[in-house]
Each structure stands twice: as C-alpha cells, then as structure tokens.
Structure 1
Amino acid sequence: MTTSGNLCLPADLWPKHYDLTIRTDLDKLEFAGFVNIQLDVKKATNSITFNTAGLTLADLTLATSAFSQPQVISADSLHLDVVNGRATIPLPFTLETGSIAQLKIGFKAPLTDVLKGYYRSAWENNGRTEYYALTQFEPTDARYAFPCWDEPIYKATFSITLVSRGDTVNLSNMPTLSENIYSDSTSSETALWLAKHFTDVTSPEDKWKITVFETTPPMSTYIVAFANGSFAYIEDSYTSPLSQTIRPLRIYGTPDLIGQARFSLDVTKKVLPLYEQLFGIEYPLPKLDTLIASDFAAGAMENWGLITGRAVFYLLNPNSNDVGVKRRIARGQSHEIAHMWFGNITTMAWWDYLYLNEGFASLVGEVFMMERAFPEFQADAGFITRELSGALNLDAKLSSHPVEVNIPSANMIGQLFDQLSYYKAASVLRMLSHFIGEDKFLKGVSEYLKKHLYGSTTTEDLWNGIGSVTGMDITSMMDAWVKKKGFPVVTVTEDADGIQVRQDRFLASGLGVGEDNKTIWTIPLNVVTTTPNGDKVVDSTALLNTRDTFIPLDTSKPFKLNAGTIGFFRVLYTPERLLTITREVAKGKASIFSLEDRMGLINDSLAFAKAGLAPISGLLDLIHACRNETEYLVWLSISQVFSDIVSAWWENPNAVALLNNFRRDLFMPLVKKLGYNYEDNEDLQTRELRTLAITQAAEAGQPEVVNELRQYFRASLSTGDISTITDELRPITFRIAAKFGGQAEWDKMADIALKSTSPSDAGAAIIGVTSFADDLMIEKTFSLIEEDCRDQDILRFFQGMGDNLKHRRLLSVRFREHYDMFMKRVEGTFSLQYTVVMSHESLTTFQDVRETEEFFKDKDTSSYKMTLDQVLETIRNKATWIQRSTEGLLAWFETRQSIL
C-alpha cells in the first residue's frame, strides 16, 4: 500500500466483524445507533484509533480476554482529529498481539441534506414534502454514519439492524433475516437499547419495527449501504447460469418514480448472468436491489447488493424510445453491476489503485458488456468519441496525473474520480485487450479475480493474473501507461521504402521537452494498409518501444497507424500524407479506414490544431471531406469539432458566423433527408443521426429548423402538454425556445425543471432555462440556481450556463460572488471540484487566467487544487490557440471549396 505520512490508520488493529444498529427518525430528521466491532490485535498497542466524523459519541466499552468485565471509556477522554476524521482512545493497559477485543460505541447525528454519509432526501407527495434516508460512503464517508475503520483494505463482515417507523421500508446490502414491530416483550440487544434511550418506542401512536439483515461477506466500509423510507418497488429475477440459483432483483424508489424504472430492471436481469459467464464467478449475494434517489451527489454507487443512484441515470418514460436515455441507463447500470466483481469481491488495497475499480467497470461494463447485451448501441466505437477522446484531452495537460497515483493527502482522494481513473484506465486496458486478444485478456482477469476473492489488490496482482495466461511480461509493457502521466504522439515521416516513426509526449501545448519528454511507452502501432490486390490488412504485431524506429511499408498505397483507434496515443502525419488520408476518408464506407479510424482521425486533427502541431486548415479540410458521411458516430465527432472551435472563438462574431454557415451546410442535407418524424421501427442510428442533425442545424441558426422547433414549443405552451414534442428533440426545442423567448417560456421551463418527475424532462428544462438571451430572464435563472434548485443539480445548471454563449462569462462572475454559498452546498461531495471546472472552463483569454488565479489565491483549494490547475491550463491553451490560429481559421473560408 502506498501512503504518505499518517494518512492511514495504524495497522495494529483490524476489524473482523461489525454488529451495527441504526435507528432512523424521519419525523425528527435524526438517527442514532450503536456498533459492536470485533478487533484482531495484529500488533501490541495501548491505543485504539478509528474513523468518526460528524457524530456525537456516547461512552464506549471495551471487552478483552484480559478483563472479566468490559471497561467503560468516557467519550470525553477521546482525542479527536477533526481534520482527518479520527478518534483515538488512550488505554491504561496494552492490548496484546494475537488477542481479540470487542469495542462498543454509541452515536447519534442529524440527518442533514449534505449528500454524504447517512443523509436525507426529499420528495413531493401530493403537495407535501416527505423525506427518506440513504447512504453514500465512497470514498471516506462511512465514518459520518458510524464509527469504523474507513479504509478499503479493512474488510470485515457486517450484521446490520435498522430500526424505523412501522410504515416505512428498510433496505441494506443483504436480504432481511427478520422484521418485527417492537414491543415490551421484544428481547434483543437492540430492544434493550431502544427501551433505555427512546421513550417513543412504546407510544401507542407510534409503531417502530426492527429489521435484521443477514450477515454480509467480508467487505470494505465504502460499499456498506442502508436506507429507510416510503419506498415502492418493481421486481424480477434471474437464474444463475453457473449454479441455476434463482436470485430476486428489485428496483426501489418513491411511488411517483417507480413506474419509470422497468428498463433499468430489464438491463439488470440481462447483464447479471452474462457477467457470471464472462468471469466464471457467480454473483455471491442472495439478491441485488437498486434504490433510485431524488438527491444524489454522484451518478450512481455500487454498494454491494444495494446499488444507489440518481433518477436521471435510471428512469425512462415507459412510452419513450429515446436511444440516448436508454444507452445512458444501460451503460450506467452495467457499470455498477461490473463493480460487484471489480471493487466489491476484489477491492483495491488503497485509493492509489482506484482505477482497478473504475477503469475495469468502465471497460467491462460500458464496452464489453454493452457489445454483448446491446450491440445496437455500438459501444466500442462510441467509446472513442465519448470516453477515449475525453481522457486524451485531460491527459494532454501538464497538470494531469498518472492512472496509479500516490495520494499525499486525504483531500486528494475525491479529485481522483475523474476521466483518467475511469477512462484513461479503461482505454489502456482496452488497448492491452486488443493486443493480447480479448479471450486471453478476460481469462487473465478471471484468474486475477479468483485468486483474490474477498481480498485487496494492487496493480502487480492484475498484471500477474493476465501474465499467467499469456506468458508475457505485462508489467514491462503496461507500467508506463499506468504509472506515468501523459501519453505519446507518434510522428510519421516517410520515403519510398517505408516510414520512420518517433514517439514523444503529447501536450495540449505541443510536444513535451526535457523532463516532460522522458517516458518511453510500449506502443502497439496497429498499421492498416492494403495488399497488392487492394485488400485491407492490419499488422497488429508492430510495436514501438524505443524512441524511434523504421518500418518497411509501401507508401504509395493508403496507410494509417492506430487501426481501429485502439491505442491511447495520437498519430501526426506530414501535411502531404494527411491530404492523402483526407481523400481516402472522403470515400466513407468505401474507404479502407473504418468508422473507428475516421473518428480517430477527426479527434487527432482537432488535438493537433489546438496544440499548434498542424494548421487548423487541415482539420477543416478533413471535416469538409466528411460531408457525404453516413455514420452517426462520425457525425458526432464532427459536431464535437464545431463545439470546440465555436467555444474557443465565441467572442469573435465573424468567426462564429463563418463556422455556423459551414455547420449549416454540412448538417442541413441530413435534416432534409431524415426529416423531423421518428418511427418506432426505425434503426437506432437513424434516430440518433436525425436528432444530432436537427440539433446542430438549430444551434447554427438555420432559420427553418429554428422556426420548426419554436412552433413545437408554442404548441406545448398553448396545450400545457410537452409530450407533443418528441423525447429526443425536447432538449434542443427547449433551448431554442429559450433563446428567443421571454417570461412565458421561462415560467414553463422553470416549473418543469423544479417539479417534473421525469428526469429527462427536468434535464431538458434545466438546459432550457439556462439558455435565455434575455438579460432579465437569465438573472431569474441565477436566482433559481441560488435559491431553489436541488444541490445535486447545480452542475447541470452550470453546464447549461456554460453553453450559453451570451451569458457564459456571467457564470464565472456569479460563481465568484456566491463562492461560499456554492462551496457549502457541494462540500465534501463529488460535485465540488466540478463546480470550479464548469464555472470557468469556457473562459478563453489570458486576462481570464490572471483574474482566475487572483480570485482563488486566498481560497482553500486543497479539495480541488488539481482540478483548478487543469482549468487554468485549459484557459491558457485556448487563449494561445486563438492567438495562433485566428488568421488561418478566417483564411480557410476563402478557399475551402477548392481542396478536393
């Protein structure tokens, strides 16, 4: 385990079992409980240090074989370390090595609306606000719910008892063992505790019940979960293909939401048996529940046996065919279910190795499993534009971090939940899988899991598992990819006999030099070319593991490196070769370059234009060459190019006008071909391409499309029924209606954003209410953000404001004016660092860099320092790009018709 200073608890005591009782009072919005912790003494000690935060502790008792009676320890004698969330008990005696100790601690705390620990969530029930309670412990917040050893390596079993009002539902990781209404005759430690501390348990008006759950397997505290509330559920089951065991599956939520959860349940039923077959390891718990939350900081959380997540990731109107929503639900739930193996059965030893959880869940859950369960979603190809591209962009910054990273401060743990831990990790594992073969890769992963069942692991354990199947030195090949930050660009020069390839670190500002260019990666080059008779062929054996090398090749024929865009690197060609490649790309499906190749070429060209390694004209030439493209995912990559360029030059009206003219020229033929009507029996790609084309044309200001969408919204205003607007078109319809709208449009969108029980509709309305051009309306939106929106939705409002070209600068101003309020609302959650990102990443001048640095210089940035550095670098790089390329951008539009 890699640690620094006293970041970790002393390793002299290890918890083996927790008996945990929690009483939840949703009327008083508080909870109380006690925990009995069995401890193995690994090393003699005269103190006990454990994690606790935000709890009021009662007196403790400690029982050991050295004393005939338990020792009572005053809570006043504890040494509290508030900064690190710890308490230390000084002992007047020594706990001897090999002995067993039993520590009992009572505690209580309010149920706050801070989205961590054990907290409350609100929902509207017939005009009345009601509450329920649930947990979010990852990474280090179990300590806010009960005293514990709150580090992943300290695996223990848990016996959980929940006490609640009789008309509510209790949930936890395991199935219910027993559930009884409390009475004076109830005999148990929990009953005695209730009778001693709570007079209301015997009140004839109140009925309190005690729910006892089965004991868990050994597990880390961050995946412990429990909840209490007025939940409804839908249910199904699946049959294990390994043992034929039938396991129940349920999705819980408040009664107003549960009717939209059927697709999520269908996904769960479909992928669970496939995972068992994939790994040859049966899902080990007797059930799997999912709880949909109205208030949730992350997207979802993989608590073992009780997945939790926000409504937008789980709900779909039963009458909707929205492909994007279905994909999001399927990928999200599959990701969380992958964690039942990656993270829950086998857990990283410390947060340095977070990618062993998140990288695998991203690759296996969002790509491998989607290709098997939902091939129509084109998950592997879609990964290139959505995940691979984002990870490359972040890792191109000097302020990046390695996938496996030493953690010098607990404040840094939350900052690691980013695109590098998730999607760079998934990308390099995807690259390894393709190189050695997916079957061998999955077999090696299965060996890794089986060897470390219920244990904790490091990177070397994974490489050893895969190496045992392949016989290869995986460590040597992969170390630089996970232990060094950054990635290479392979520069290609050529002559008649072949190509010279050289690797250097790629930076968003150019090539790395000096200390920033020392890493040598082992790069699978995957060279695609043609045989003498014109057949496509890929050389998957070519490796570059030195600074440079020569590869014999017939350069008179089309060729490309990184076939299929499998590798986590970029390829830089000469301008002459890029023009040849561009002409080949123009052939579309007839090209030797696959869908994935064409996407990768577009993404690389955008990156090189930003970094100053290629003129922006080459990027625009490539986009123009794709004007007859038919594949949705290539058009998605093209749309990202327009978003990035317009977002950089947004304060240059002439440049924006030219870019929007170009965008209209490209996307309007698709709108005219595909129309506005969606058919139930049409293929998913057609639906998504239509949505994308209409969206892009509308954002570019195409009058006929804008007018069509405005008509849709006006009709919905007159009838009060937004269901007349096709699901897929609601986001862009709301956005266009807002851009040209006033008070009536604002009132409608604000009402939907705050009150709709459809997450998709609420999300569309949030984007809409942040898209107004009218100054007065946008001020009303800021007031709504500050006073009325749920804390979990702040980022969605910020995202919408950041896309509003007229008012995006005002977002950073308002954020700074209300900094303390916003930081308080997201304190300690995953949202904290991203409020800084989304409020500032759209800025584009060197003056913005100076002002941002000045604002944050006296702030405590310890919880988002790494993210802030990345934001500043992003602004600085955009300012440099604008300075370098404005002339070339404008000049291209004078000659763009003559290139092909």
Structure 2
Amino acid sequence: LMIGRPYGIPNRRALHDEFLYTHRMGRSSKPLSDSNSNLSFSFSFGMKKVLAIVVLAILLSVVLSSLITYVLTRQPRTFNPETDREDSIPDVSDTSGPSAEALRLPSSLYPENYRLQVKVYLPGYGAKIDKAHNLTADVDLTIRMGVVQSTSEIVLNSKELIYTDQSFSVERKVKSGELSALSFTGFKVEKELEKVTINTDRLNVGDTIYLKIKYSARILDILGGLYVNTYKDAAGNTKLLAMTQMEPTDARRMVPCFDEPSYKATWDVTVEHPEGTVALSNGLETGTIPTSAGWQLTTFKQTPKMSSYLLAIVVGDISKTEKTNENGVLVRVWARHETVADTAYALEAGAKVLAKYDEYFGIKFPLEKMDMVACPDFSAGAMENWGLVTYRETDLLYNAETYGMNEKQRVATVVAHELAHQWFGNLVTMGWWDDLWLNEGFATLVEYDGTDIISDKNYHMEEDFVRDAQDTAFNHDALPTSQPCSFKIDKAIEVAEAFNAISYDKGGSVLRMIRSVLGPAVFQEGLKVYLEKHKYGNAAAADLWAALQVAADNHKIQGPRNAPLNLHHFASQWTTQMGFPVVIAKRLNSSFVEFSQMRYKSTSATQERLKYRNPEFGFKWDIPLTLTRGEGDIVEKFWVDRDHPLVLPLPANEFFVMNIDSFGFYRTHYEDGGWKRIGKALEENHKRFSTRTRARLISDAFAMAQIGKLSYGDLFDMVKEYIKKEDDTLPLNIFNNEYNVIVSYLASEPTGVDLNTFKRGLLRPQYDVVDKAQLVSFFSDDTLFWTNVKTNTVIKEMCSAKDPGCVADEFKDYQDNFLTLCNGTGLMSSECSKVAAPLRMRTYCDGVKYSTPGAYEVVQDLLIKEKNQMEGRALLKALTCTTDIAQLKRQIRGSYRSQLFPFRTLLVSLDPKQSLVRSQDLGTLFSYVSANQLARPFLFDFLFEQWDKIYERLKEDNSILSSVVKGCVNMKSMQQIHQLVTWRNAHAETKSMHAFSEKIATAYKLIDWNRDYGQQVSDYFSKQK
C-alpha cells in the first residue's frame, strides 16, 4: 500500500512541495484591489498599475500579515507549561473497543481455496436493475478448508454482510472423494468482533471441509471493501465504477473469509457484470460470455496462494493500453476513456521495472499479466493487489500539460513501490500486522532503485532518499508519539495506525543502512535466500535476519566488538525500539576523539506510550560509523558499541566528518567547535563533501540547534556564506526544509520578517541565475530533471520569502496565462491555462491571495468544471489561499452558494452529494486550508463544532479522518492544548486516535521551542541590523 499524501503522513514526495510552500508563508492582510468584482474581468487599470499594486501589497503584507496572524493566533498564557501538562499519549490498551487478540480467528481451520462468484448490480449500463438490488452484490462462495484441531464451529471474519438461515451449507470430503453433507445448526454474527460463527457437526483433524455461503453485500460509499466510484464522462454524464480495497481488514466487507495475512489460499473468481462494463480481477480473464439480458460473465484464472487483503475486483466502463514486457508478462494500464491517453508513461514504467525486478529478486513474476488501474476515488495512493494494482488517478496517469516533473517522478515512484510488493508482501507476506514494516519498509527501499531504473537514473533517487524518506523518518521518530518498526498490536485501531512514516520511511531507512553494512551484493544474496525459502508463505523479521545472516556469514562480514556480525542482534536494536541515536564527537585531548551516543528527542515535554518506555536495548544502538578525514575521500568504517564509546586517534589539526553519504540512520554532533570548522570548510570548498554528506551536515546542524546542542547564531553563521555558493539540488532542498520550520514557528512574530529577509539574501545568488525559461519549456525532459527541480525550488522559496520581483512575476503569470485565458471561455482550466505545470499550484494560490474577489468566483467555477484531478488539486489549493477568511468559513461550513452553482459547496465531509471535493481528497483539503495561517483558529473551532458529523462520515477510513484532524488541530498555546485535552476526555472515540496525540506533542514542542530559542533567534537578527 502506498499511503496517499499528504493524507495523514506529512508528505515525503516531491509532488507535495507546493503544500509546504504555502504552509511556510504568512498571509496578505487584504486583496490587492477591491475593484472589478464582476466576472467580466475587463480590467480598468493597465498591467503596470497592477504590478505596482502587487509590489506595494507585498511590501505591506510583510508587516500586516505578521501583525494580523499574531493578533488572531496568540493566546495569553494563563497555564503553567511545567505543571499543567497533560499526558498526551494515552496507551491504546486503556481505550474502549475489543482487543486485537479478541478479533483474531481460532486456529482450528485454515483455507485452501475460495471459489467466488459475484454478481455486481452497478446501475447506468446495459442491465436492468431494480431498486432493491441497486448498488448491491449477490455472492455465491465456496471455501475449501482443512482441519488442524477438532471443532464444531467454523469462525470467519465478516462485516455488514447479509445472511439468512438458508445461506449456509457444510460438506465433508470422504475417502471415496465424494462430498457428504453435514448438519447446519445455526449461525451467529458478532458485530463488534467482526465475525460470523457457523455451527455444524464435529469436524475432525485431517478433514477437508467445503463451506458454501450465499449472501448479499452492499456496494459501499466508503473507500473500503467493495465500493463505488463516481465521475463525469466527456459528455458530462455521471458514470459509476465498482472496485475493491481490502487492506488491511476490509475483505470481510465483501467476503466472509479468514481475513488475516497468515491465512493464505488460492482464489477462483467469476464476476457477473452489466453489459457495457469490463470486469478485472487478480488472475487473467479466461473468457466473457453473455448470461441473461444485459448481463455478462467473466471468469478468471486461479490466483497464486495469497492473503485475503490482496483480493481485487474492478467493474466499470474503462479502456486500456497494453504491452508485453521483455519477460513475457502482459502489462495493461486501465483508465476511464477520457484519460486513457495519459497511461503511456505508467505503461512503459511498469513494463520496464517489472522485468528488472524478476532479475533482482531471482524469482520470476508468477502471474501472466499485470493490470494497473487508475481509480477516480481511492483512499490510499495505491494498493499492491497481486496482478491488479489500483491507484489514484494522480499517481498513475501522466499528462505533460498538467503534471510537473515532480508529479511525473511521483508516478514512477508509486509504480516502482507497488510492483516491488509483488515479491515483498505478496509472494512473501508478514505473518501479522506487527511486522507490516517488512512489507512497506522494503517496498520503500526498493522504490528508489526501481525509480532509478524507470528514469535511467535521471531522477537522482539516492539523493532523493535522504530528503524524502530518511529525514521524514527522523522527524517522526524524534517525537514521543513514535513507535518501533515492529510492535505488539493491542487494539484493532493500531492495525490502521501502523500505516505511517515509521513503517514506511524508517523501515526503508534501516534496511538501507543494513544494506550499506553488508554491501549491495551480499544484501541481494540474502534477499534471494529469504524469498526462495518463504515464497507463497509468511515470514517474520527474524526470518529476514536469518536469511541475511547466511549471506553475511558467507562473506565473513564483521560486526561490533570485533566479532562476526550478528544480524538478528544488530537489526533488532533498530526495529524493536523507537527512536534513534545521535553520535557525539568530543575531543579528549590533542590526539584522541571520543565517539559516544545519546538518544535524539526533539521534545522531552511528554513521555512515550507506556509499552515503549523500557525496551530491551535501553535506547542504545550498535552504530555503523563512517567518516572521512581532512581533504581525503577514503571512507573509514567503525562500530560505536552500544555499551561503550569509541575512541580514535585523530590529531587536533585533522578535520573529519561522520555518516558519509547519510547511509546511517543516526544524526551527528560535533563538540569543541566542530560545527564552526565544518561551516568554514563548507564556505571555502563545499564540493569537498558529496551532496548527500552536505545534506546530512545541514540537517544535523539544524537538529542540534533544535535541542540546544548548537546555538542558532552559530547555525546561521555556519550557513550564511556557504548557502550562497551551494548549487546542488539536494543540499538546497534540505536547507530550505529545515529553515522553513523556523519560519513557521515564528510566522506570527516580528522576527518572521527578519527570517524572510535573511532567506532572500542567502538565495539571491541562485535566484539571479536560475533558468526559468528552461523550466517552463522543458520541465518534462527527464535529462533536465535535477536542474529543473533546483530551479523550481529556488523560485518557490524566493516567492515564499516575499521577494517583490518574484511575486510580481508570479502574479503576472497568473493574470496573463491563466485568468485572462480561462475566464468566460467555457473551457476547463486544464484546457486553457498556459501556466507551466510545475508552477501552477503556487501561482494559482498566490494569484487568488493577491487578486480581486471576482477572481475567486472564476477559480471556483473552473474547479466545478474540471475533470483532470491534478489540475483540480491546483484549483482547490488556490481557493484555500484567500485572505477573505469569512468567505472561507462560509464554504467550509457548507453555507456558501455560488450564483452559477447554487447546490455545490466546497467541503465534502458532511454531505458527499453536495460537494466539489472527493472523499479521497478530504485530507488534502484540510491540509490546504491549514496552510493558510489566518484560517487556523477557525479550523480549531470547526473541529469541535462539527466533530460528531465528521466522525460519523469518516470513522471507517482512519487515514482520511486522521488527515482531517491534523489539518484542523494546529495549536500554539497552553490554553488550546488544555481545551483539546478537556474536549478529548469527553469523546471516548478520540482517545485511541494517534493523530490527536501527535498534534499535542507537536504543540508542546513548538511552545517549548519558542520559550527556549525564540528570543535567541530574534537577538541574532537584531545584532545583524
């Protein structure tokens, strides 16, 4: 599963850099002009006057936005932050609801095969469907199962399925091979435990049992189980598509089954569907025949032995492109007819990387075909169903007119991630959800290799890993709300919560470190041992370590304490306890340096959950330390023992840096003036360090300042001359990401103006030489990808720092290439806009922010017409950038009505039928609104006011609900924390939601940072004046 971004996890894909851009900016206090409120846009002033007003507004907004935000968001502190703090991270085991253990199935039976025939009543096509059957499915299911413990009960997972006493029949296979009927004495549905129990005669060990069930299921309007997608075709007609999303525990919504990953079985699927639709499933279709009037039946080849969460069905009016890859696998990409032309890039990417994975893993892809489907409504980013991978449209389709280079990279990355799962996750599956990180961490690691294959290494994925996965993991794992990669699941909610940055990004980062310790070839050798031994079965982390141990022993890999590397002992330190170390280099005397460790925590305001506080390894790690000395490029390797510091002979005049190329999952700190020496070295010749090493130095320096190990004055002095000379994409991105955190902390303070001024000065040399014309004309050229990303970053950051020239150019682009060309034409924005795709999101956003009220209406009406989801995302973002907060409130509350479209509102959460926003994009919407700092106080209140309705609408989709919570809750005062904790105590359903705990911990971190370091930053800039 690829988590949709920024849905829940702060997005680690370059695709969403635009979100961060608006999050870091202050907001203008008013539109540029109040004139021209009608929709004609025959502007009465000339372009020079427009630009003059824009520049004036920018200068005014530097002061006014900070003052307004300060007044709106700052609360008087009447609570003592040291004595009034709440325990912000309740143990999930103390919350209501059944335990995870209670939801487990008994171990007396196991499935061998499911024979599944589904009749899908999808309206709007060739079949006549009565009201009673509309959006339902009739299912005929036979499960063949074995008996390992004698029992008279068959217990299956089942949720919201409709049975009668005539639904069930049970048969036993006798010695002759014939089936003998067993008595059926009743069934019981346990709603809370999501189980159905069928009572029958005694089943004996060794028996083969056939359970036949006929039942009905609803085609749901939530994004799980068998559910419906709605979209408009080219003629404006409403079309429906039915599809499944089963992971983690939604197969039981369509099929009563052994819905746990360890219960693997084959599936024989047949789908009856209306004429005019195509049916797809995991296996290759063997034929489609007509049945009755308006109906047809499609049969599929049997699947390999697999877990229930990988079952997939799609029914809809869709088209495909296809090709056979070099290893003979048929690869097809499916989409609605209007977008099928946008499938070409994903088709080439999928065919190419699937063949290369065959070679890398040493096991051929076991199915004859690989289908990839672009779905209009999809909660996650994508899902790795074996042979039938489903995606969000924005993560599979690619259109050079509306997708920038980052979005194109995103498509390649998601395809590479999901196809890696076909081996690591599908062929070999974790035994239970506590080892989810094995699936997702490995797919995260390999997606970077796969994307390099797709792009012929033009996307620089080794560099991107440092910014994208590793730093994301560091940021999350430094909080008390983190968790180990592998952890005991106590409550059912923790299964859904496990799909997070720790499972994905930390998991991938730890595996990358292990690969660097073993070497790529030895690591690959161990993976082949692992996959071959456990194919079509299940495995735990210990099984992976055992396979890698075989390869390590074959090559005599050394570990700490001068002993052969013990993979299980080494890797378990990084996967069974939360957190990570910082290696501290301290000079003992003129000849020796000591390397010790401490756990890095970005805040100590709150404690970890109780079950994580006392890990076996005591928050200490065996650390694979790498370093280079002086001007040399020889990488030396050592072990920092978890129990003892490392002491090395390093003369006082010998310069050194640690964690070369950022392969280690640890931060570094240099005492005794070490950071100043690094700053001087970077200023004199930053090229002496690789780009990844420079990026790690910058990130670690900011991290040390955050916990008081390095003063902010020394930090700013360290980078102020060097950054002006930095010309590589990765270090610039890392610097801007880290610096923007400080800007966000002080956005409502007068120091925010100084921070922007300082930032403009650092980036001015790069901004003056960037080739914007190349970016605009050749952003789809992969060979220019890295350069274009740098250009885009520099322009974005200069505009975010409110450089008058940058924003004036941006506003002119908005006027000339968007507003003038699209207003009143009747065309969709994706058809009329000439703003270059990489620039659209922020250009539209700032255009609305600085424009007239009439412009807002135009953008809204363009959003209503738009069918391209990527363009729609940019338009949606623009609407949330308005400085008219009263208008935004009306729309969020659902009371706003456009004159042209009186029945459409902006928000979908409370009534999906009256909305411009798809269910899948709710988290994105709240992320966008939250980026507008003037809207944050309103969002905070909105959550309290509308919680019952929000929860009722989204409680079945933890990812989207968590994203909405994170968008609404942005606190910066003890009063707000107290208000939230008090409210939360009165709403039991929120106690188990990790999103609230994370936002409370983040708020404490912000409050403490402002208390401890805010004045330090302010004093630094005061001295510069």
| TM-score, normalised via structure 1 length | 0.92
Residue in structure 2 matched with residue 473 of structure 1 by the alignment: 566
Distance 1:271 1:389, change over 3 A: same
Is 1:565 paired with 2:662? Answer: yes
CA distance in 1 between partners of 2:419 and 2:683 (Å): 41
**Aligned mate of 2:971, from 817, 829, 843:** 843
CA deviation after TM superposition for structure 1 residue 857, in Å: 1.6
Distance 1:442 1:400, change over 3 A: same
Residue in structure 2 matched with residue 718 of structure 1 by the alignment: 820
Deviations 1:777-836 (A, max 9, x none): 322442312451111101111111121122223222222222223223332224245325
Is the contact made by 1:30 and 1:108 (CA closer than 8 Å) also made in structure 2?
yes
CA deviation after TM superposition for structure 1 residue 713, in Å: 1.5
Is the contact made by 2:349 and 2:454 (CA closer than 8 Å) also made in structure 1?
no
Is the contact made by 1:171 and 1:227 (CA closer than 8 Å) also made in structure 2?
yes
Which stretch shows the higher mean deviation, 612-621 or 230-239? 612-621
Which stretch shows the higher mean deviation, 400-409 or 761-770? 761-770
Counterpart secondary structure, 2:230: strand
Distance 1:368 1:558, change over 3 A: farther
Distance 1:105 1:763, change over 3 A: same
CA deviation after TM superposition for structure 1 residue 498, in Å: 2.3
Counterpart secondary structure, 2:332: strand
**Aligned mate of 1:505, from 587, 595, 599:** 599
CA deviation after TM superposition for structure 1 residue 895, in Å: 4.1
Distance 1:294 1:836, change over 3 A: closer
Counterpart secondary structure, 1:526: strand
Deviations 1:519-538 (A, max 9, x none): 221100111213xxx42221
CA deviation after TM superposition for structure 1 residue 157, in Å: 0.3
Is 1:78 paired with 2:178? Answer: no
Residue in structure 1 matched with residue 936 of structure 2 by the alignment: 808
Residue in structure 1 matched with residue 153 of structure 2 by the alignment: 47
**Aligned mate of 1:8, from 80, 85, 104:** 104
CA distance in 1 between partners of 2:860 and 2:645 (Å): 58
Residue in structure 2 matched with residue 333 of structure 1 by the alignment: 415
Distance 1:763 1:72, change over 3 A: farther
Q: How does 1:142-153 map to 2 (within 5 A)?
A: 142-153=251-262
CA distance in 2 between partners of 1:373 and 1:446 (Å): 25
Is 1:698 paired with 2:799? Answer: yes
Is the contact made by 2:926 and 2:968 (CA closer than 8 Å) also made in structure 1?
no
CA deviation after TM superposition for structure 1 residue 65, in Å: 3.9
Q: How does 1:96-115 map to 2 (within 5 A)?
A: 96-115=204-223
Which stretch shows the higher mean deviation, 677-686 or 767-776? 677-686
Distance 1:710 1:143, change over 3 A: same
CA distance in 2 between partners of 1:773 and 1:410 (Å): 42
Is 1:775 paired with 2:885? Answer: yes
| TM-score, normalised via structure 2 length | 0.81
Is 1:551 paired with 2:638? Answer: no
Is 1:526 paired with 2:626? Answer: yes
Deviations 1:491-518 (A, max 9, x none): 2211321211211211112699995892
Counterpart secondary structure, 2:119: strand
Is the contact made by 1:176 and 1:213 (CA closer than 8 Å) also made in structure 2?
yes
Which stretch shows the higher mean deviation, 397-406 or 495-504? 495-504
CA deviation after TM superposition for structure 1 residue 610, in Å: 2.4
Is 1:655 paired with 2:751? Answer: yes
Residue in structure 1 matched with residue 308 of structure 2 by the alignment: 221
Which stretch shows the higher mean deviation, 814-823 or 27-36? 814-823
Is 1:179 paired with 2:281? Answer: no
* Counterpart AA for 2:657: K
CA distance in 1 between partners of 2:116 and 2:289 (Å): 17
**Aligned mate of 1:235, from 298, 322, 329:** 322
Counterpart secondary structure, 1:35: strand
CA deviation after TM superposition for structure 1 residue 725, in Å: 0.3
CA deviation after TM superposition for structure 1 residue 869, in Å: 1.7
Is the contact made by 2:401 and 2:837 (CA closer than 8 Å) also made in structure 1?
no
Deviations 1:472-497 (A, max 9, x none): 42001111100111111112211321
Residue in structure 2 matched with residue 21 of structure 1 by the alignment: 117
Is the contact made by 1:833 and 1:864 (CA closer than 8 Å) also made in structure 2?
no
Is the contact made by 1:492 and 1:572 (CA closer than 8 Å) also made in structure 2?
yes
CA distance in 2 between partners of 1:13 and 1:828 (Å): 29
Aligned length in residues: 860
Residue in structure 2 matched with residue 164 of structure 1 by the alignment: 273
Higher relative contact order (CA 8 A, sep 6+): 2
* Counterpart AA for 2:1013: S
Identity of aligned residues (%): 26
Residue in structure 1 matched with residue 1016 of structure 2 by the alignment: 888
Is the contact made by 2:460 and 2:786 (CA closer than 8 Å) also made in structure 1?
no
Counterpart secondary structure, 1:475: helix
Is the contact made by 1:605 and 1:618 (CA closer than 8 Å) also made in structure 2?
no
Distance 1:896 1:464, change over 3 A: farther
Residue in structure 2 matched with residue 402 of structure 1 by the alignment: 484
Deviations 1:135-155 (A, max 9, x none): 000000000011111000000
Is the contact made by 1:271 and 1:373 (CA closer than 8 Å) also made in structure 2?
no
Distance 1:233 1:748, change over 3 A: farther
CA deviation after TM superposition for structure 1 residue 613, in Å: 3.0
CA deviation after TM superposition for structure 1 residue 310, in Å: 0.6
CA distance in 2 between partners of 1:368 and 1:563 (Å): 23
Which stretch shows the higher mean deviation, 812-821 or 472-481? 812-821
* Counterpart AA for 1:694: I
CA distance in 1 between partners of 2:682 and 2:190 (Å): 61
**Aligned mate of 2:847, from 719, 730, 737:** 737
CA distance in 1 between partners of 2:812 and 2:991 (Å): 46
CA distance in 2 between partners of 1:401 and 1:644 (Å): 23
Q: How does 1:61-460 map to 2 (within 5 A)?
A: 61-65=169-173, 69-71=180-182, 73=184, 77-91=186-200, 93-125=201-233, 126-182=235-291, 201=292, 206-240=293-327, 246-319=328-401, 322-367=404-449, 369-370=451-452, 373-460=455-542
Long gaps (5+) in structure 1: 183-200, 241-245
* Counterpart AA for 2:805: E
Long gaps (5+) in structure 2: 1-98, 124-133, 554-564, 823-828, 895-905, 909-913
Is the contact made by 1:841 and 1:875 (CA closer than 8 Å) also made in structure 2?
no
Deviations 1:734-764 (A, max 9, x none): 1111211343332333344454333321221
CA distance in 2 between partners of 1:859 and 1:547 (Å): 47
Is the contact made by 2:923 and 2:964 (CA closer than 8 Å) also made in structure 1?
no
Is the contact made by 2:927 and 2:963 (CA closer than 8 Å) also made in structure 1?
no
Distance 1:861 1:670, change over 3 A: farther
CA distance in 1 between partners of 2:206 and 2:865 (Å): 58
Deviations 1:596-643 (A, max 9, x none): 111112222222222233322233233323221001111111221232
Counterpart secondary structure, 1:56: coil
Distance 1:140 1:323, change over 3 A: same
CA distance in 1 between partners of 2:208 and 2:471 (Å): 52
Is the contact made by 2:990 and 2:996 (CA closer than 8 Å) also made in structure 1?
no
Is the contact made by 1:658 and 1:893 (CA closer than 8 Å) also made in structure 2?
yes
Which stretch shows the higher mean deviation, 207-216 or 490-499? 490-499
CA deviation after TM superposition for structure 1 residue 15, in Å: 0.5
